[in-house]
Amino acid sequence: MRVLGIESSCDETGLAVYDSEEGLLGEVLHSQIPVHQDYGGVVPELASRDHIRFITPLLQKLLKETHLSLKEIDLIAYTAGPGLSGALLVGAAFAESLAFSLNLPVFPIHHLEGHLLSSLLKENAPAFPFLALLVSGGHTQLLKVEGVGNYHLLGETLDDAAGEAFDKTASLLGLPYPGGAKLAQLAQKGIRGKIKLPSPMLHSKDLDFSFSGLKTAVRQKIEKNLNLTPQFCADIARAFEDSVVEVLTEKTLHALKTHGLNEVVVAGGVSANQHLRKVFNEKAKRFHFKTHYPSLNLCTDNGAMIAFAAFLRIKAGFSPKTAGGFAVFPRIPLKTGDFPR
């Protein structure tokens, strides 16, 4: 079975083909960063228009690169939520009409399910049940994954998502949007412990997070120090990254212990963070648990994770739908991964 996956929930248009026998056959991605950079964040209307502009040429590029024709596709999967409604509608309308014209079934996929199953694309995949830490621009959640389509939310952020906190802090330091990866780079030059920032909710007994206070603490440090030398900025970045990583890894450890699990999948854009991976790997050795991360190119949004999630859902016995009427779901929690039909 060959699945075409389409992702358009935010500021990346991603398409990919996954083959049940041969694995990932190809993937293409168009990032909208230059479109939104001047505004310091994603502008929904511009995102929708850009998805419209690039989705057809991207499909043509994917077919050319994989030497496939549309006749060789068996199923079309697309992100149906959560995300920006206009952006989701572009991918959904494109996928549904393409499938309708080709008489193919479609599979609407939950964006977070795509992220958290993307680690299973690699060798030595985790075995169910496992813990998932989803850290992206829009979400920070700890979930117990019992199996495909069986997710239990254990804790989540009460305010900003981890990626959002990275981006807002980067912006305070004058780095262009999205600043997460750039802030991480800057942190490498910072001196550990030079600046102290809080580690929010580190000792709260629950599995929830809060990152907006950390951003405010950074703002206050910056306001007090009018001489923003490159070293001061690097030290702030170091302190910020250390705090976020400490809270994320400690809460994950707590969740593993509380729920009797010994494998964790870290997924979403922030899982690309090398310091986060390093601290996780150190703790994994010390406390005897296993860590899994998606390949670096699959940490941020992409079409491969959507195609792969649809393949796993079919394998687990879930049914695709007939192409035609459809809806998108900008805000929908992940429980079974099903959408109202």
What is d(CA 90, CA 88) in angstroms, rounded to the nearest whole number? 5
- Name which of 321, 341, 337 is nearest 100 in CA terms: 321
Residue 5 interacts, among ligand KG4, Zn ion, none and using kind-specific CB cut-offs from 5 to 8 Å, with none
Asked if 263 and 292 count as a contact pair (C-beta separation under 8 A), the reply is yes
Nearer to ligand KG4, 96 or 164 (CB): 164
Q: φ, ψ for residue 260 (rounded to 5)?
A: 60, 40
| Helix residue ranges per DSSP H, the chain | 33-36, 44-66, 85-102, 111-117, 162-172, 180-187, 212-224, 230-258, 274-287, 304-315
Nearer to Zn ion, 41 or 198 (CB): 41
Using CB under 6 A, which of the segments 85-93, 141-149, 151-159, 174-182 binds ligand KG4? 174-182
Q: For residue 198, which of 177, 212, 187 has the smallest C-alpha distance?
A: 212
- In the complex, the smallest distance separating the C-beta of residue 112 from ligand KG4, rounded to whole angstroms, is 8
Tell whether residue 10 is a contact of ligand KG4 (CB under 6 A). Answer: yes
Q: Pick one of 180, 190, 320, 337: the residue that binds ligand KG4 (CB under 6 A).
A: 180
Minimum distance from residue 132 beta carbon to Zn ion (Å): 13
CB of residue 177 vs ligand KG4: minimum separation in angstroms? 8
Minimum separation from the CB atom of position 257 to Zn ion (A): 28
Size of the site for ligand KG4 (CB under 6 A): 19
- Of 238-257, which residues contact ligand KG4 (CB under 6 A)? none
Taking CA atoms, 299 is separated from 117, 189, 302, 303, in Å, by 11, 24, 8, 11
Residues of the shown chain interacting with Zn ion in the complex, contacts defined by CB under 5 A = 136, 301
Using rule CB under 6 A, residue 47 touches ligand KG4: no
Instruction: Single out the residue of 18, 78, 151, 166 in contact with ligand KG4 (rule: CB under 6 A).
Output: 166
Which of 108, 138, 200, 320 lies at the binding interface for ligand KG4 (CB under 6 A)? Answer: 138
Cα angle at 147 between 298 and 282, to 5 degrees?
55
In the region spanning residues 182 to 211, those forming contacts with ligand KG4, defined by CB under 6 A, are 184
Q: Which residue's CB is nearer to ligand KG4, number 19 or number 241?
A: 241
Closer residue to ligand KG4 (CB): 211 or 289 = 211
Contact assessment for residue 215 and residue 159, using Cβ atoms and an 8 Å cutoff: no
Residues near 333 by Cβ (< 8 Å), separated by ≥ 6? 153
294 touches ligand KG4 (CB under 6 A): no
For residue 325, with 0-12 CB atoms within 10 Å meaning exposed, 13-18 middle and 19 or more buried, which class applies? exposed
Q: Pick the closer one to ligand KG4 by CB: 228 or 296.
A: 296
Q: How far is the C-alpha of 298 from the C-alpha of 119, rounded, in Å?
A: 9
Binding site for ligand KG4 (CB under 6 A): 10, 136-138, 163-164, 166-167, 178, 180-181, 184, 268-270, 272-273, 300-301
